[in-house]
Structure formats: structure tokens, C-alpha cells
Structure 1
Amino acid sequence: MVSLVYAVIFGCILALGLPLNATALWMLLRHHGFRSPNAVLMVNLAVSDLLLVIFLPMRVYFYATGTWPLGKMACVLVTLLFRDNIRSSSIFVTCISVDRLLAVVYPLRSRHLRTPSIAVKGAALVWLYVLMLNIPEGLNMSKHLYSQNETTCFESAYAKNPSKPIIVYFHTVVTFIMLAVNIGCTAMVLRTLHRHVSKSAMVDNKVNVMVIFAMNLVIFIICFLPVTLNSVMVISGSDLTFLICLATVNCCLDPLLYYFSLDAFWRKKEDANVRRETRTNDTEFL
């Protein structure tokens, strides 16, 4: 009965996350592309979420039927994609917080840092870091799975696996560092918006800026932190499947982050189009 509940939860996440992220990625590439560092980070975050969502049907089938007919290597692949999403999403969310901090607190001094080319190089390093973590973890998971007598998958196979690569502990430390960065960015931006009321008028929507940082912290603390802690320790009374469900919800929350982050950009673009049309009409009139 509990497994069926998890199957329904993953099914709902799939039904919401797939169209939301597919639409968000299409809108980002069509209307924003890689013209700003914020858009570059958003595109990579959407790609990370889609890589997780498109494999959720396998989890739905597993929890609905209690069987895994796809083999052990497919189980390793799906599990690694889940961990890749948690790691890459947490890094991209942190980068978005830092980018918004620089844009609001240091708009002029950070112009040479906030460029699309630097954002693309940073995103490439993030994916390289994530893939490097897959090598020791994939080997460890495969070795443990093939030592089992029965075909199992996900937490039923890994919960009893005491062997963890040192890289898992390293990423846990990185996660706490990123959490501190998100908290620091939020505090600095809120202080800037509160102290410099006149300067905050340069921000298109003060509420949107505050919502971005609030959402980043909520996603980080609720979705990323619990499952990361559980990967290095056994939390008393914790349900690994519940933590996985909680972490997967970030696929449905991230599209809201795209809206609040790029809503101001849409208004800028519309205003620029209006001014361009006005100048064209004036020229034709003269």
C-alpha cells in the first residue's frame, strides 16, 4: 500500500514536472538563449530537471508493481541520474543566488564577471564535476548490486550498502558550503534593498527579487539537504523513499524560479520593443 502511494506521488511529479520543464526550456532557448548569465544557468537547471523527469516512469513502475525488469545497469543509471539532478541543481541554484547578488548589490563592479561566456564555462565545469562523481559511485553501486541474489533497485538495494566512496562525503561538505552561500546572499540582498530604497528602484520588481532568494533557500533546505545528509549517514526514523520524493519535488518548483527570475527581463524586452517601434514611427513620420 505504501509503495502504491509513492507510485502516485512520483506519477504526479512526472505529470507536473515534464510539461513545466519542457515548456520552460523551450521558452528559455527561444526567447532568451544564452544572452545573459542568468539565462544560461536557467537553461542548465531545466536540462538537469528534464534528465530526472523523463526517467520517472521507471520509478512509478517499480513502486506500483514491486518489480524491476530492466536489469541492474538500468537501475544504476536511473539512480545516478537522480543524484546528478540533486547535485547539479543545488549548484545551479547557488550560482543563480550569487548572480542575483552581484546584479543587485554590485551591478557595475560585477559587469565583467556576469557575462554569458563565463556562465557557459561555469556550467561546463559543473557538469564535469557531476560526471566525475558518477565514476566511483557507479562502480560501487554496480559491485553491490551484482552481489545481491535477487533483482532489486533503488533504496532496497542501497540502504544496506555500508560502502560509500569518499567523494560522497566531499560533496556533503560542498553542500553545506553552498547552503551558507545561499544564506549569505539572501541576507546581503535583503539588507541592500532595505537600506537603499532609492537604489532598489533600479530593480524591476523588489518583491520578485526577494521571492527568488526565498525560493532558493526553500528548495535547498527542503529538497537538497535531507537527501544529501542521508547519503552519508542513517538518520533515525528516516524513510529514504520519502526523502527521494521530497528531493524530486524540486523539478516542479524550479519553473517558478524561472518565472520570477526572468519576469523583469520580459518587461525590459517589451519596453525596448515599444521604444524601437516608436522611433521607427517617428522616422517614418519625418
Structure 2
Amino acid sequence: MNDTNHTCGSEKDLKQYQHFIYAVIYSVILVPGLIGNVLALWVFHAYVKETKKAVIFMINLAVADLLQVLSLPLRIYYYLNHSWPFGSFLCMFCFYLKYVNMYASIYFLACISARRCMLIIYPLRYTSSKRRLDRQLCAAGWLVVCLTCLPFPLLRQGEENGSCFSELPLVPVSTGLGATLISLAELLGFVLPLTLVLTCSWLTAASLREKTSVLQDSGEKRKALKMVLSCAVVFLVCFAPYHVTFPLDFLAKSKAVKSCAFQDFILRCHPVTLCLASLNSCLDPVMYYFTTDEFKRRLSRPELPESLQLNRRLSSATGGDKPVQSDLRE
């Protein structure tokens, strides 16, 4: 603890406050996030055989959310017990996984918005080659996100006195380098995807004013608009607050902020916004339910167990041939 910390208040009180916030909110997120994303993957795997309507991106989004949810028990343990007994590698990996999930979710939400918008504006252009392109975009997205998130753990020093996650000390960096990395993360990781999502929302809404055709009726366009607007809401609720406090938190921790009141305010707000960024693991399955008719039908009616039993009977009758699968077309 340096002189600035002494002047600006008790570091122990701040740490207890942060641990309480993290433990409570992560505990709230854990169960619904786990159930929702496992259920989403199950429904998608069991019934979705066509990749129309951005289904491939939804599957990858559910995978990203599930990976983060699976790391929450270790985080909750740390914030309840104020100690990390699991080693430096696991600490760094869970810390890294948090940011991989966040930026992978941002990427796939932007892809879902763009694909739904394109399906409305150019309905005849979605062919098998576009489906292959979606898979390639998913693979490229995972690669880019995993590589660009490496600075988050690399700029932290190793485990120290049982501490972990955001409490790991920062590696000393120049102000210029820190500002550059934060600016790139803000621009490429949030501002550009948000601009894409808002643009897709505007284009999809504008398509409702056009004359409808046989291929794309107004009901189909409204469904697409509902999906794109849901992506925008997740962006604004979960990711916008974090990306507002992210650069301010860096300035506060590097002691570039001289006002003790403002420094304390940022250090108490940032944990809340970081938890909001994790809340998307619960909101995304809700988005699937309310914006995808097939998903809602499968969970709202006793059709799923009956269909599974019918498939097993058909498989047995045909000697183990591939069972009949449901179609996602609405």
C-alpha cells in the first residue's frame, strides 16, 4: 500500500466491498446461466439442421457463455474465501477466459445482427457457400479473440499472497502503451461492433417500411428486427457500462487520477460493470427464447420428449438409420 492508497481510504474496505459484489452477482448468474446455455445447445443440436437465421453464430455464442459460466464456481470460491489455492496457471486461465467470453460474445452478437439483417435485405443470397462462410467467420472470430485477449493476463504479474484475478498487480507499462492498448480494445472490441449492431437495427427497421414480397413478409421482418434489437439491448446493458469504466479503472489503478473521491467512485463502480458484462450469459438464452419461434415452441410444448421417443422408435425400426429431424423453418 503506497501513500496514495493511505490518503484515499482503506484498501481493506474496498477489497471487502469488491469481493462481496463479485460473490453475490456471480452466484446469481451461475445457475440460470448454466441451465440456459446447456439447454440452448441441446435444443440447437437436437433440432437445428439448417444454418439459416444465424444459428451457427447462436451456437458459438452459447459455447462462449457456457465456458465463462463453468469458471464461475472458482471465482465464487475465491471471493468468498479471499484466497486462491488452485495455482497460478488456473488463476491466469480463468482471468483470461473472462475476457475471451466477453469479446467472443460481442463478436457473435454482431455476427447474428449482421446475418439476420442480410437475410431480410437479400433473402435469396443465403446459399450453402454462405453457410460455409459462417463457419469460417466463427473459426476466425475465435482465433482473433483468443489472440487479442492475451494482453489481459500477460500484463498481470503472477499470483501473490493468494490473490487472483483483477487483484493481481499490473506489470509496469508506460502511459503511452497503456493508452494505446486500451484505445484499441475500446475501438475494435466495442465501438465498431456496436456501430454494426445499431446500423443493422436501423436497416432492418427501415425494411419494414418497404413493400413486402412473397419471400419476406412483414411478420418475418418483425422477427428479424426483434432479434437485432435484442442484440443491441444486450450490448447496451451488459457491455457499454464496462467499456465506459474500463479506461477510467486503468487510470485510477495507475494513480493517474488525483481526486480521491473520483478514484474511489471508479474503483467501486468498475466491479459492478464487470459483473454486468457477465450477465450476458443469462440474457443470451432469454434472447433465444423470445426471438426464435422454434426455440420457444420446443420449450413451451411437450413436443420434445415425444419427438425423441418417436425418433428412437424409427431408428430401431430402420435398423439404426439416422432418425428423422425437425426443421427450423418458420
TM-score of Structure 1 vs Structure 2, range by shorter chain:
0.7 to 0.9
In 2, the alpha carbon distance for the partners of 1:203 and 1:88 equals 31
Show structure 2 runs of 5+ residues with no match.
1-15, 252-261, 298-302, 304-330
Q: Which has the larger radius of gyration?
A: 2
Aligned residue number for residue 15 of structure 1? 31
Find out whether 1:189 has 2:204 as its counterpart: yes
Give SS of 1:94's match. Answer: helix
The answer to whether the 8 A contact 2:230-2:287 is kept is yes
* Cα distance change on mapping 1:85 and 1:114 into 2, 3 Å: farther
SS in 1 for 2:126: coil
Q: Distance in 2 between matches of 1:185 and 1:104?
A: 10
1:213 aligns with 2:224: no
The CA deviation at 1:266 is 8.1
Percent identical residues: 29
Cα deviation digits, residues 42-73 of structure 1 (max 9, x gap):
11001000100001011111121222111222
Kindly indicate whether the alpha-carbon contact (under 8 Å) linking 2:208 and 2:222 is maintained by their aligned counterparts in 1.
Answer: no
In the superposition, relative to structure 1, how do residues 20 and 215 fare at CA in structure 2: closer, same or farther (>3 Å)?
Answer: same
2:130 maps to what in 1?
A: 115
Confirm or deny: 8 A CA contact 1:37 1:115 kept in the other structure.
Answer: no
Q: 1:263 aligns with which of 274, 287, 293?
A: 293
Q: CA deviation at 1:114?
A: 7.2
Residue 145 of structure 1 aligns with an amino acid whose one-letter code is: G
Q: 1:37, 1:116 within 8 Å by CA — same for their partners in 2?
A: no
Please say if 1:145 is aligned against 2:158: yes
Partner in structure 1 of residue 272 of structure 2 = 242
Distance in 1 separating the partners of 2:283 and 2:296 = 20
Relative to structure 1, is the Cα distance of residues 72 and 265 closer, same or farther in structure 2, using a 3 angstrom cutoff?
closer
Larger mean CA deviation between 171-180 and 9-18 belongs to: 171-180
1:132-163 residue CA offsets vs partner (Å, 9 max, x unmatched): 1244433322xx235x4x221122225x5564
- Is 2:112–2:228's contact at 8 Å kept on the other side of the alignment? no
Residue 67 (structure 1) aligned with residue 78 (structure 2)? no
CA distance in 2, matches of 1:260, 1:115: 26
Amino acid in the other structure paired with 2:131: P
Kept in 2, the 8 Å contact 1:24–1:255? The answer is: yes
The more displaced of 203-212 and 42-51 is 203-212
2:70 is the counterpart of 1:57? no
Partner of 1:39: 55
The answer as to whether partners of 1:55 and 1:78 remain within 8 angstroms in 2 is: yes
Cα distance in structure 2, aligned partners of 1:203 and 1:26: 30
Aligned amino acid, residue 131 of structure 1: C
Per the TM alignment, residue 265 of structure 1 is displaced from its structure 2 partner at its CA by 8.1
TM-align CA RMSD: 2.9
Query: Does the C-alpha gap of structure 1 residues 115 and 198 become closer, same or farther in structure 2, counting only changes over 3 Å?
Result: closer
- C-alpha distance in structure 1 between counterparts of 2:23 and 2:60, whole Å: 27
Aligned to 1:77: 93
Report if the CA contact (8 A) 2:41-2:62 is conserved.
Answer: yes
- Answering whether residue 175 of structure 2 is matched by residue 124 of structure 1, we say no
Give the Å deviation of 1:263.
1.4
Q: Which runs of 5+ in 1 are unaligned?
A: 271-286
Q: Pick closer, same or farther for the CA change 1:265–1:205 going to 2, 3 Å.
A: farther
CA distance, structure 2, for counterparts of residue 93 and residue 220 of structure 1: 8
Preserved contact between residue 88 and residue 127 of structure 1 (Cα < 8 Å): yes
Displacement of 1:105: 1.7
How far residue 17 of structure 1 moved from its aligned partner, in angstroms, is 0.2
Separation in 2 of the partners of 1:179 and 1:81?
22
Alignment partner, residue 167 of structure 2: 156
- For residue 105 of structure 1, the aligned residue among 115, 121, 126 is 121
Distance 1:260 1:180 in 2: 24
| Contact 1:49–1:85, Cα closer than 8 Å, also in 2 | yes
Q: Against the structure 1 CA distance between its residues 250 and 195, is the aligned structure 2 distance closer, same or farther, given a 3 Å change threshold?
A: same
Bigger shift: 24-33 or 51-60?
A: 24-33
What TM-score does the superposition give when structure 2 sets the normalisation length? 0.71
